[in-house]
């Protein structure tokens, strides 16, 4: 069901390489593929027909679950943050893509959404929609971390630093667990706040990691002109697309850290490109509305 993947590292400059996990699939891409793999195998093993998960309206995870569900024979339900979306005549590009792939939506208030891990809320969803295999928000659980442990392979032992963007912390946890003893794993949170440290500690079995919290650009999905122009020039120069929510902020951060002398001379840095490119269309819609430069 899941093939061996070829994601050969791409050379960027004398210190930095990129692992192009975005090439795995246009939508079930990067870490979302890694996080879904063992969950889908488990849902099949247990005989489930429905997958249910949670996400925001621009979520890469929602798009990936919809496409993966269709590909592997599941009905999918997305519980989406934001009741007001129910009244919108037009879905944004992420939700439109999910719908095209057969996902059914339940739009809930921000207040209801906060109950996403509470048993009573999950039980009421089961009464309403029938039984389902639950994939948590952002897809992070033990099986997701297990999938992310497969991102690094033996060829990656030559690197001194492994860098990745951080949302719910599942991806970095997998990377930490499979990192080599001489390596340090650097996480670049895409959101403000330090709470994520605790979540990572739940899954990570080692202490060779650190969060670099200076590159969230004001918070989740917040962007500015500097970031957009960095993403556009990076693509022009290296022919590698970056998304504005996760990988763009991380690579911007890595280049800035190099300028500031953060990395020791001759240290080798591997940046994990975790995908997320489906999110560009939605951000471009917003940029167009504001008459700003688009992501190319
Ligand atoms: C979801 C996502 C992340 C965050 O992964 P976590 O495991 O939630 O930390 C990072 N990069 C991309 C492109 C994503 O879609």
- Does residue 5 carry a pLDDT above 80? no
Please state the atom number of ligand 1 nearest to the C-alpha of residue 246: 11
**Residue 237's pLDDT band (boundaries 50, 70, 90)?**
very high
Q: How far does the centroid of ligand 1 lie from the alpha carbon of residue 92, in Å?
A: 20
Q: How far does the centroid of ligand 1 lie from the alpha carbon of residue 127, in Å?
A: 30
Please state the atom number of ligand 1 nearest to the C-alpha of residue 277: 13
Please state the atom number of ligand 1 nearest to the C-alpha of residue 64: 15
Segment 215-221 long-range contacts (CB within 8 Å, at least 24 positions apart): 215/188, 215/249, 215/250, 215/252, 215/253, 215/256, 216/189, 216/190, 216/191, 216/192, 216/249, 217/249, 218/192, 219/191, 219/192, 220/190, 220/191, 220/192, 220/245, 221/58, 221/190, 221/245, 221/283
Model confidence pLDDT, tens digit, residues 259-292: 999 999 999 999 999 999 999 999 999 999 999 9
The pLDDT mean for the chain works out to 95
Model confidence pLDDT, tens digit, residues 127-160: 999 999 999 998 999 999 999 999 999 999 999 9
Chain position carrying tokens 């912390």: 169
Q: What DSSP line would sit under the chain, residue for residue?
A: ---------EE-SSSEEEEEGGGG-SSS-HHHHHHHHHHHHHHHHTT--EEEEEE-TT-HHHHHHHHHHHHHT-EEEEEEE-GGGGG-SS--HHHHHHHHTT-EEEEE-HHHHTTTT-HHHHHHHHHHH---EEE-GGG-SHHHHHHHTTSS-GGGGG-SEEEEEESSSHHHHHHHHHS-TT-EEEEEESSS-STHHHHHHHH-----EEE-TT-STTSTT---HHHHHHHHHHHHHH-----TTTHHHHHHHHHHHHHTT-SPTT--EEEEE---TTHHHHHHHHHHHTT-PPP-
Model confidence pLDDT, tens digit, residues 97-117: 999 999 999 999 999 999 999
Closest residue by CA, ligand 1 atom 15: 276
Q: How far does the centroid of ligand 1 lie from the alpha carbon of residue 251, in Å?
A: 14
> Pick the residue with more confidence: 86 or 96?
96
Q: How far does the centroid of ligand 1 lie from the alpha carbon of residue 156, in Å?
A: 20
Nearest Cα to Cα of residue 224 among 215, 234, 235, 212: 215
222-230 average pLDDT score: 97
Q: Which residues line ligand 1 (CB under 6 A)?
A: 30-32, 60-61, 138, 140, 165-171, 243, 246-247, 274-276
Domain ranges of the chain: 10-29+142-289, 33-139
- Does residue 23 carry a pLDDT above 90? yes
Q: How far does the centroid of ligand 1 lie from the alpha carbon of residue 70, in Å?
A: 21
Closest residue by CA, ligand 1 atom 10: 165
- Does residue 161 carry a pLDDT above 90? yes
Q: How far does the centroid of ligand 1 lie from the alpha carbon of residue 139, in Å?
A: 9
Task: Judge whether 10-29+142-289 and 33-139 match in fold.
Answer: yes
**Residue 3's pLDDT band (boundaries 50, 70, 90)?**
low
pLDDT at site 1:
59
Indicate the class that CATH gives domain 33-139.
alpha beta
pLDDT at site 4:
63
Indicate the class that CATH gives domain 10-29+142-289.
alpha beta
Q: How far does the centroid of ligand 1 lie from the alpha carbon of residue 26, in Å?
A: 15
What is the distance between the alpha carbons of residues 247 and 1, in angstroms, rounded to a whole number? 28
Contacts of 81 (CB under 8 A, 6+ apart): 54, 55, 56, 57, 108, 110, 113
Please state the atom number of ligand 1 nearest to the C-alpha of residue 22: 13
- Number of CB atoms found within 10 A of residue 88's CB: 12
152-176 average pLDDT score: 97
Q: Choose one of 61, 150, 165, 201 to mutate for the ligand 1 pocket test, by most ligand atoms within 8 angstroms of C-beta.
A: 165
What is the distance between the alpha carbons of residues 172 and 153, in angstroms, rounded to a whole number? 15
Taking CA 57 as the corner, what is the angle to CA 53 and CA 62, rounded to the nearest 5 degrees? 35
Positive or negative, the CA dihedral 274, 118, 67, 63 is negative
- Does residue 31 carry a pLDDT above 90? yes
């Amino acid at each position: 069901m899941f093939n061996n993947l070829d994601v050969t590292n791409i050379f960027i400059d004398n210190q930095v390489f990129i692992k192009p996990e975005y090439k795995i699939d246009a939508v079930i891409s990067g870490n979302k593929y890694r996080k879904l793999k063992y969950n889908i195998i488990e849902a099949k093993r247990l005989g489930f027909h429905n997958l249910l998960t949670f996400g925001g309206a621009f979520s890469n995870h929602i798009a990936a679950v919809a496409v993966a569900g269709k590909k592997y024979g599941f009905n999918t339900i997305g519980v989406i943050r934001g009741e007001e979306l129910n009244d919108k005549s037009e879905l944004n590009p992420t939700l439109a893509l999910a719908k095209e792939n057969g996902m059914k939506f339940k739009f809930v208030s921000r207040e209801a959404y906060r109950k996403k891990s509470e048993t009573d809320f999950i039980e009421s969803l089961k009464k309403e929609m029938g039984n389902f295999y639950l994939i948590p928000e952002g897809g992070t659980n033990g099986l997701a971390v297990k999938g992310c442990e497969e991102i690094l392979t033996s060829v990656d032992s030559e690197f001194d630093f492994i860098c990745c963007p951080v949302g719910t912390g599942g991806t970095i946890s997998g990377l930490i667990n499979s990192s080599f003893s001489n390596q340090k794993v650097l996480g670049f949170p895409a959101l403000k706040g330090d709470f994520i440290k605790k979540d990572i500690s739940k899954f990570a079995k080692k202490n060779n990691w650190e969060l670099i919290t200076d590159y969230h650009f004001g918070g989740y999905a917040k962007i500015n002109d500097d970031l957009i122009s960095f993403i556009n020039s990076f693509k022009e120069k290296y022919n590698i697309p970056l998304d504005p929510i996760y990988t763009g902020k991380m690579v911007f951060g890595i280049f800035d850290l190099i300028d500031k002398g953060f990395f020791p001379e001759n240290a080798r840095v591997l940046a994990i490109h975790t995908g997320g490119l489906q999110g560009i269309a939605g951000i471009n819609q917003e940029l167009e509305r504001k008459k700003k430069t688009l992501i190319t």
